[in-house]
Structure 1
Amino acid sequence: MKTKLLLFLCLLVFILLFLGFALPLRGASAAPHAQFVTATPGPDGRILYTVVDGDNCGQIALIHGIAVTQLRQLNSRLDQDCTLTVGQQLVVGVVSNAPTAGPAPTLPPATVTATPVSGTTEVCVLLFNDMNGDTLRQETELGIEGGAVSLTNLNGSYSQTQNTSSAVDPDTSEPIRTCFVDVPGGEYNISMAVPDEYNPTRLLSRTVTVKAGDRAEVSFSAQSKTLTVSEATEPQQGNRSSLLGIFGFLLLLGGAGLAYYAYRSGQPKSKLKGSPLMKR
């Protein structure tokens, strides 16, 4: 009878040990498939989140399936401690949907400066890498290679297309713009097509009026799609794996206790128990 009880306890310990190792591995492999529902993107493709009481950067990143480092990239104005205020709006993602008509960020007007050229104008366009998604160019945000920009007069008398460049002026360290020269004065539509691996963060069409002898500068922006992939599920995987690991350790500890109890139960009782020697 004791032998059967010992075998049963050993079998139970083996099952508990197996579950203790298998559950953390299974939970870790399933973690990358976690998905979270995010807010509806705005007309410019950006997904915004409004901070409420009790929020922190780690919680917001976890809810929207991104890493804290990516949240910082999308919101360059966050300080080193990632301090948040109630009502603050954060960019938590950018989708590839083309912008539609409606409310959009206030864009800086096209810069027009006088030049000594007589009879024609010059229109220079820049497509820059909007790494933080705020639609404003920072010093570290340079040009994007491979975009296609078209300049068309509204009366149909002029139409040209050129490719954008990522080159930098060695003297000023500023990105080199794509320029249309000897352009007759008038009202023009400027349209931009971004490379496939980028999402636009501004409207892709602008209208500008230039006069002969002027030089117009217009900027467009786009953000790399690699910033919106699900690499940011790593924090979720790490948290879930840690919890399952602790649960597995507790199972191992319980199994060790049962094994010790089974070992003690299987030991023969002392023959001295109840003898006159034990009563002395």
Structure 2
Amino acid sequence: MKKILNDPLLHFFAIGCLLFLVFEYFGSAGEDEDLTIRVSSGDIKALEASFSRTWQRQPSREELDGLIDEKVRDEIAYREAVALGLDRDDAYIRRRLRMKMELLVEDITTAVPPTDEELKAYLEENRQAFRQEMRLAFNHVYLNPDQHGTTLDTDIQRLLEELDRKGEQADPRMYGDAIMLPRIYSLSSANVIDRQYGAGFSKELAGMETGRWQGPVRSSYGLHLVLVRQKKEAHAPELKEVRAAVERELMSARRQEVRKQTYDTLLDKYSIVVSRDNGVRD
């Protein structure tokens, strides 16, 4: 008898019977439900498109039949899992459902794009957030003081004279000492420049005349001969300058507001009871 009870085949049979009884129990409560699984032509086109994106070709008839069979199995497993209550008390499923609901609610905000008047009003209310800081475009030649010793001042003067003769035509990559940073910068913000070269470097450049080699300017690396090509002073931008950023922030604010309003409205349907060790808060 003990050998029979330990037989894996008997265990498998018992589990099968148990599952049958469970499905019968839960299934009996839903006899009136629609037990038809429909696979539309639109579903089939979606399956074909997904297969094509993955394999870069159309599926064969056998492959498509397999995809349809898998979709049917997926739907059966989903319906039976819900019937068994497997979707309840599952933190992952709850998070996914909440995410889907919030995305559905937030889609309302993207249905109608903001008008120019709304964007201008948002920009006006948030001027400081979109304020454009000073930006500089420049070339530089790096000099490592450790590599020049007592000839540093002479080398700087000689190099500055040569660069000055060539002006903007001088290729900064052909002069000075090696450095990992770029030698040519397009318009870059003062914060970005200072993060790379050290605090105060951009302020030194901002005080320079454009179109002429000057220096040296000290950074956290050493000394630099600099040609400032262009300056754009800090300013409050017009909408056309920051339209994409304003629209992105406005839509984000809208989504947050719609989400809050939705929860505030739905909250009125519920009675909230919070049980704590020191009492209950309704």
Pairwise same-fold verdict (TM > 0.5)? no
**Which of 1 and 2 has greater Rg?**
2
Q: Which one has a larger percent strand, Structure 1 or Structure 2?
A: 1
Higher relative contact order (CA 8 A, sep 6+): 1
Task: Report the TM-score, using the length of structure 1 for normalisation.
Answer: 0.25
Q: Which one has a larger percent helix, Structure 1 or Structure 2?
A: 2
